[in-house]
Amino acid sequence: MMFDSIYIVGSAVTAFKRWPERSVKDLTGEVVSAALSDGLLACDQVDAAWFSNTRQPILEGQNTIRGEAALAPAGLTGLPVFNIENACASGSSALFSAASHIQAGLGAITLAVGVEKMFFPDRREKMFAAFMGGTDIELIDQTYERLATMGKQLVPAGTIMAKERSFFMDVYAAFARKHMEVFGTTQEHLAAAASKAHYHSTFNPKAQYQQEISVTGVLTDKPIVWPLTRAMCAPVSDGAAAVVLAHESVLTQDQKARAVRLRSIGMATAIERELTDYHNHVGRRAALKAYEAAGIAPKDIDVVTLHDATAFAEIQQIENLGLCPIGEGGAFTLSGATTLGGKVPVNPCGGLMSKGHPVGATGLAQIDELVLQLRGEAGERQVDGARLAVAENGGGHLGVEEAVTLVTVLGN
């Protein structure tokens, strides 16, 4: 969808980490206050709010009114509040809905908030079980059987797997093995993506991990499920992110000076297709929709944030976004093209693998990073001359791909 005269005027993220002592309300209050302050706005100027969260019902028992309960202590009462849950794409789905509200003429200023408390030391079984709801639970046995057969012949004899891991690590590992089988992608390619993410995170004080890891270090880290090691996988995280949108007609001169234009969002969901029909992958279909609506091509993109829940996800999504040909994502990454200073930097904030992945907040945190980049406020990780930015945020699993993906284009 193309958006007309809609701008991001404020955004913010908390630090991402494991915070057993903090609550959803606490994280919400911090990020809402920061985003409104960034946009030179007060609570009573917001026309409507969207609240993205996926774990509270399972881990804390708070459901049905998550947004209303979390936003009230932050000073947002009396206005329309909508609760959004769309797997790992919940945050970008909230942004899509908040922008559509303005596009439809129903309000001039909206707020999208994503908050997640995922780490509960005393509820570890529930923490990992929560991931299962991101696929069709009626087909879970068949899904596991299919995943286990994908690229099975590539798995070295005697390979160890982590006993405690999320369902989605099995999903990404299976897709990685198939990509290896079809295109010759290697474990070293995956390690290069992970090493790059950890390097970028050293420039981000809000990242959960802030240490460099060499390609060798990634390869020799704790095995999760082949070909993935721990350093190739996003951690369990707590955190929050928020974005304030406004129609151009209500912006003050001070707000206009730092506002970032929302150009388009492409959204797609899973279809039935052959596993190797990569040209019709949900991520590629969403990207093509976003590019067409914004009137851009991949060659125009200066900086990208994408959903690297694992190192393989990054390789697949740079292909889907058209940054390189399908099948060449591994070599493109290994060449340094996606590293700061390269052809098109990907996840300069450290991405999900290193910045962290509090599910409901992730999509909006990606947008916050791009806002900083387009404003020229990203500090040591600033991409020189960034004018056009793209975010890819996928979630869930259905059939042979993510259940849903959104691709967002930003740039004045």
Tokens of 337: 């093209």
In sign, the C-alpha dihedral spanning 318, 136, 166, 365 is positive
**Residue pair 192/337 in contact by the 8 Å Cβ criterion:** no
pLDDT for the residue numbered 121: 83
Tokens of 293: 């609506």
302 vs 298: CA distance, rounded Å: 9
Which of 43, 47, 116, 51 minimizes the C-alpha distance to 82?
Answer: 51
pTM: 0.97
Low-confidence ranges of the chain (pLDDT < 70): none
pLDDT for the residue numbered 301: 98
Q: Which residues pair with 68 in a beta bridge?
A: none
Sheet holding 303-305, edge to edge: 81-84, 48-52, 109-117, 238-247, 6-13, 260-269, 404-410, 389-395, 303-305
pLDDT for the residue numbered 133: 86
Q: Label the pairing between strands 303-305 and 389-395.
A: parallel
In sign, the C-alpha dihedral spanning 203, 346, 363, 133 is negative
pLDDT for the residue numbered 128: 80
pLDDT for the residue numbered 77: 98
